[in-house]
């Protein structure tokens, strides 16, 4: 087994996903199949290989620090699931 049911539960918790018993069982099986397959990468010795995160190197893209128009508040709030006309409203945090 590459991954256990407990580990899937832990990862789901990290990712803020609730999985039903059925989903947990199914996902564990599917993730195990996928992770067993990707273990194929262990065939390769990559001790001295530099990782690639982007296909070619891009330097930091700087721009002048100038004032620009931003989206007006009403537009920013237009997709809010809940708002009070000024802010996004979410359940109490503390």
Partner 1 sequence: MKPFELTIAQARAELDSGKLSSRELTVSCLDRIKSVDNDIHSFLSVTEEEALRQADVADKQIASGGTEALCGIPFSMKDLLCTKGVTTTCGSKILENFVPPYDATVVEKLKNKGAVILGKVAMDEFAMGSTSENCAFDVPENPWKPGYVSGGSSGGSASSVAAMECLGSLGSDTGGSIRQPASLCGVVGMKPTYGRVSRYGLVAFASSLDQIGPLTRDVRDSAMMMNGIAGYDKRDSTSVQESLPDFTASLAEGLQGMKVGIPKEYFGDGLDAEVAKVVENGIQILRDAGAETIEVSLPHTEYCVAVYYLISSAEASSNLARYDGAVYGYRDQDAESLIDMYRETRSKGFGDEVKRRILIGTYALSSGYYDAYYKKASQVRTLILNDFQKAYESCDLVISPVTPTPAWRRGVHADDPLALYLSDILTISANLAGIPGMSVPGGFSADGLPIGIQLQGPHFREDTLFKAAYNLELGTQLANKCPDIA
- Residues forming contacts to partner 1 in the complex (CB under 8 A) are 3, 7-8, 11-12, 14-19, 23, 27, 30-31, 33-35, 37-38, 40-42, 44, 46, 49-56, 58, 60-61, 63, 71, 75-76, 78-82, 88, 90-93
Torsions phi, psi for 80 (to 5 deg)? -65, 130
d(CA 73, CA 84): 12
Q: Distances from the Cα of 51 to the Cαs of 43, 47, 60, 93, in angstroms?
A: 17, 10, 19, 39
Least gap, CB of 16 to partner 1 (angstroms): 5
Least gap, CB of 85 to partner 1 (angstroms): 15
């Amino acid at each position: 087994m590459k991954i256990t049911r407990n580990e899937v539960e832990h990862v789901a918790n990290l990712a803020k996903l609730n999985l039903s018993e059925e989903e947990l069982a199914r996902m564990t099986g599917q993730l195990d199949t996928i992770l067993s397959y990707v273990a194929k990468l262990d065939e390769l010795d990559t001790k001295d290989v530099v990782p690639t995160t982007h296909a070619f190197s891009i330097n930091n893209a700087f721009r002048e620090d100038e004032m620009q128009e931003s989206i007006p508040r009403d537009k920013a709030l237009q997709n809010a699931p809940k708002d009070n006309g000024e802010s996004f409203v979410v359940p109490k945090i503390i």
